[in-house]
Amino acid sequence: MNERLKQIKLHPVRYYKSLIKNDPQGIDLTIGEGHFNSPFNAKLKAYEALLTNNTKYSQIEGDKALRKLVVEKYYPKYDENTEIIITNGSSQGLFNVLLTLISSFEDEVIIAGPYYPAYYNVIRLLGAKPVVIDTSKSQFKLNRELLEIKVNKNTKALIINEPNNPTGVSYTLSEKKELLNYSVEKEIYVIVDEIYRLYTDSSYVPFHDLLDNNSKKYFIFINGLSKSHLMTGYRIGFVLSNPLFCQQLRKANYLIVSSISSIMQQAAIGALTDDYFCEFVKKYYLNNVAMLLDALKFLKVPYVDTTCGYYVFIDVSKFNMSGREFCLFFSKNYHIALVPGDLFGVDYSNYIRVSCCKDVTDIVKFVEFFTSYIASISQISWL
């Protein structure tokens, strides 16, 4: 068997979810899966595809109409015929991208910590070296100074998750320009995972808006509909890059899945015609985040400040517990499942992640229980 695969341990988010599995009072704030159902238009188009027998193999690179729609809505600088590949979710998109990039055991891929665990594991599985840069001292962002320390002749790419999971952090325009210029200067690929891109504020400027024909050669965008359209079970993702890179991605797509489900691609087309659904979900979950941040500020609990994404990363060190201990304590005593920070890197053992893509009443209850817990361990006059 593959020795590298045997060494990989899947991150146990579902373990923490299972702690309240049979608890009638349980509240799950672990997995980043929205509590609303997927959009009606997606279901309607999937049903229509079944009734009209649109059930055959699709094109290897994905349905042409879907590729056209994605480009028009999100990536207008890219060509719908040569610069986009539809994948079986963004996770497969990530695997395809790294499979296409990594060619040697000496290759290194830089990850900004804290990071989505799959980045680290897929890089290791493919035989390359993941190089984690701790960003906790730089507002949880990569910058030129940090990269200068780690970049060398073996550096193949860096991964930027924006907004970040688990912190929700995104980059300013000037910070993006600095990273763009540095990557072009060093001729390093930049993999931008934009799966949470919907959950941003009015100041957000996507990386692809800054690209010219030269810098475009070094950028690879990964996205999908699991978070924006709450279509986690449909498995629709997409990757955009230059034509030469996409030619190789197309081969990977064929070898791994042959083609993406025709039915689910039709569902994606249906979902992308309904902007109202996305805007409603965005406002709902960002409001959850804002409410939780306001409560944490009032309670004087440290957290990573953000206006994007739908996670909140909380420092629980003041309670003399690690993130894991805090999660176990809260699931046992308050019936709330949370995720410890060390799942996103060993440097973050004092943090927990709260998923806010839930019913607002769940967030309210978490705030109430957190307040009650703080009151039980301290003398606070206003409680």
Q: Say yes or no to pLDDT of 9 above 90.
A: no
Give yes or no: residues 254 and 328 share one domain: no
Mean pLDDT of 363-375: 96
At 380 the pLDDT is 46
SS3 content of the chain, % helix, strand, coil (to 5): 45, 15, 40
In a domain, 322, yes or no: yes
Give yes or no: residues 287 and 184 share one domain: no
Give yes or no: residues 119 and 242 share one domain: yes
At 379 the pLDDT is 55
What's the CATH number where 52 sits?
A: 3.40.640.10
CA distance 173 to 121: 30
Of the three residues 271, 297, 312, the one that is the final residue of a domain is 271
Q: Say yes or no to pLDDT of 383 above 50.
A: no
Give yes or no: residues 235 and 96 share one domain: yes
Q: Characterise 168 by phi-psi region: left (phi > 0), alpha (psi -120 to 50), beta (else).
A: left
Number of domains in the chain: 2
In a domain, 381, yes or no: no
Of the three residues 271, 304, 335, the one that is the final residue of a domain is 271
216 CB burial (10 A radius; 0-12, 13-18, 19+): middle
Give yes or no: residues 283 and 244 share one domain: no
pLDDT averaged over the chain? Answer: 96
Give yes or no: residues 210 and 76 share one domain: yes
Give yes or no: residues 188 and 280 share one domain: no
Cβ 286 vs Cβ 199: under 8 Å = yes
At 307 the pLDDT is 86
Mean pLDDT of 43-63: 97
In a domain, 365, yes or no: yes
In a domain, 383, yes or no: no
What are the tens digits of pLDDT across the range 101-134?
A: 999 999 999 999 999 999 999 999 999 999 999 9
Q: Kindly give, in sequence order, each residue whose CB lies less than 8 Å from that of residue 289, ignoring residues fewer than 6 positions away.
A: 168, 306, 307, 309, 310, 311, 312, 356
CA distance 141 to 165: 12
Give yes or no: residues 67 and 168 share one domain: yes
In a domain, 379, yes or no: no
Give yes or no: residues 162 and 83 share one domain: yes
Q: Which of 1-15, 266-280, 312-326, 368-382 has the lowest mean pLDDT?
A: 368-382
What interhelical angle do 275-299 and 360-377 show, nearest 10?
10
Cβ 54 vs Cβ 203: under 8 Å = no
What are the tens digits of pLDDT across the range 139-155?
A: 999 999 999 999 999 99
The model's pTM:
0.96
Per-residue confidence band for 382, with pLDDT thresholds at 50, 70 and 90 = very low
What's the CATH number where 324 sits?
A: 3.90.1150.10
Give yes or no: residues 137 and 238 share one domain: yes
The domain of 356 spans: 3-38+276-374
Q: Say yes or no to pLDDT of 300 above 70.
A: yes
Q: Say yes or no to pLDDT of 188 above 50.
A: yes
Give yes or no: residues 266 and 288 share one domain: no
Per-residue confidence band for 358, with pLDDT thresholds at 50, 70 and 90 = very high
Q: Kindly give, in sequence order, each residue whose CB lies less than 8 Å from that of residue 374, ignoring residues fewer than 6 positions away.
A: 299, 301, 380, 383
Q: Tell me the DSSP string of 38-88.
A: PPHHHHHHHHHHHHTT--S---TT--HHHHHHHHHHH-TTS-TTTSEEEES
Spacing of C-alpha 217 from chain mean position: 23
Of the three residues 242, 271, 300, the one that is the final residue of a domain is 271
If one counts every other C-beta atom within 10 angstroms of the C-beta of residue 209, the result is 12
Q: Say yes or no to pLDDT of 378 above 80.
A: no
Give yes or no: residues 179 and 316 share one domain: no
At 381 the pLDDT is 40
Q: What are phi and psi of 293, to 5 degrees?
A: -65, -40
In a domain, 51, yes or no: yes
Q: Tokens in use for 1?
A: 């068997």
